Structure 1
Amino acid sequence: MVEVLAVLGLAALAAVLVWGWRRLSRAAEPGPRRTAWGGDEDRGGTRIVLDIESSDPDDPAVQRLVQEAAHRVLARDRDLVEVEVVARDGTVLGVEHRPEPLPADVELPPALRTPHAPARHTPSPVPQSDPGHPRYVAEPAPEVRATPLAERLDLAPAIRSRIADPDRALDVLRAILEASDRPVEVDGDLLVTGDVAVAVVDPRGDTERALNHAFLRIQGTDVARGMIVRLGYVDPTLTRRREAAAPHVRHVGADAIQRMADAVAAGADPIAFAAGPVTVG
């Protein structure tokens, strides 16, 4: 009996030692390697090169990318009057001019300059039952149905045909990434494409909670970088603070969805264009 107990004790001790060794081994293993997003390079001048191949300058997707890239340069350099945008092969895609300021002597139309009597906020002395002044009954406002997200975007047929739920931003992003021949894995409310995890949040309500949830979902993966697409307004100070603390997670607005779709139409990488049109030296 004593020998049996001794054997059982040794077996239990061995099991504990093996469990402890495995736990220490897992703790010693390095975590996922994170990679910070590169900063936006300040490429200015009167001529900038958009990181796309030769494209049709009349394509609406190309025009949107050209306008945004040029306007960013014009906003950085107040001395510039115009910016020429070209493709990598030198094809001119467009020229954007700084808008002229409004003239100082702008006059209002006569209809707006006509004085109007101030609105009265006192009770009317006219009885409501007076037949000459019938009571106005307002008609119920017509029901306005929200337009699905995909219908509010200019999407190429190759993207639109892949969308299963047109009102779900995550599904629209999946279709955009698939149309660019990127591998895509869907994990609930998260997309994983290559070394990037993409989360979509609606910050209305509890903004901090929404952003924290997206961040933790990205941290739960082993990808190098993450991207949070927000479908509402977030204080830029908040996103800058978060990106400073975790430079491997980038925050972009809802406008990134259209920009990513435009990048696909222009033959560019939608992930690279998510934060803005990419220019090269």
Structure 2
Amino acid sequence: MTPQTIGVIGGGRMGAGIAQVFAAAGAEVTVVETADVAAARRVADGLTKAAERGKLTDTLDAVLARVTVVDDVTALDPSADLVVEAVPERPDLKIDVLTRAENAIGDTAVLASNTSSLSITELGAALRRPSRFVGMHFFNPVPASGLVEVVTTSETASEVVEQVRGWVGELGKTDVVVRDSPGFATSRLGVLLGLEAIRMLEEGVADAEAIDNAMELGYRHPMGPLRSTDLVGLDVRLAIAEYLHATLGERFAPPQLLRDKVASGLLGRKTGQGFHCWA
């Protein structure tokens, strides 16, 4: 069954999307975000669009009433069934919010990280109950994506894995269970393809539109690797690539073009310009 009460730490694009799908499925959701007005607006905008497309089974007002935005982890509901961390990809930040969240909720709650690449084992090592900790890697945009990557460690209890898989199914999504390793399955493959596409652009093999069309039309990818990088955020992709480069070797070395665009503030859709123009 869908968890009755959940917390989402981080009200950015990913956190708001996670909050939206759980609220739409019937859960009471608390979002923790210091910029609480912006977070509330993101969730409301997403739910409004879902209502306009006929994707909500309850009224928009009823679903919105299930979402509360607070500005501190200590305000999480102590009876939460699940808390998902969705803050930026910085190990120190994630460990800080995860340890504080663990202290704010009950012993039987499941704590999850939405990290796309960082070690679940290392994050869990800072917790008192690593058996109740798991990776839940949602994909952007969360409401439209059909996949959640469930990342397990040697400490993760088998009943937690099955519980999380059940919750994913209740959201209308499909899970893939993977063992904790750098980049898991999806980021490892997706980043490698994206980096090669950037190298091809850097070398003048083809322009961005042609590279993306080749993968979309030739291999039936729903989105080409450069458009996907724009959607994820070039800064996010660079951070993941640097982590994978450090842990898995030279094949994940970030191209200079990616570094240059991030340094110039051309971060993709969120800034209006990346490898494509989104303005």
TM over 0.5: no
The structure in which a higher percent of residues are helix is 2
Q: Name the TM-score, length of structure 2 as normaliser.
A: 0.29
Task: Flag the structure with larger Rg.
Answer: 1
Q: TM-score, normalised by structure 1?
A: 0.29
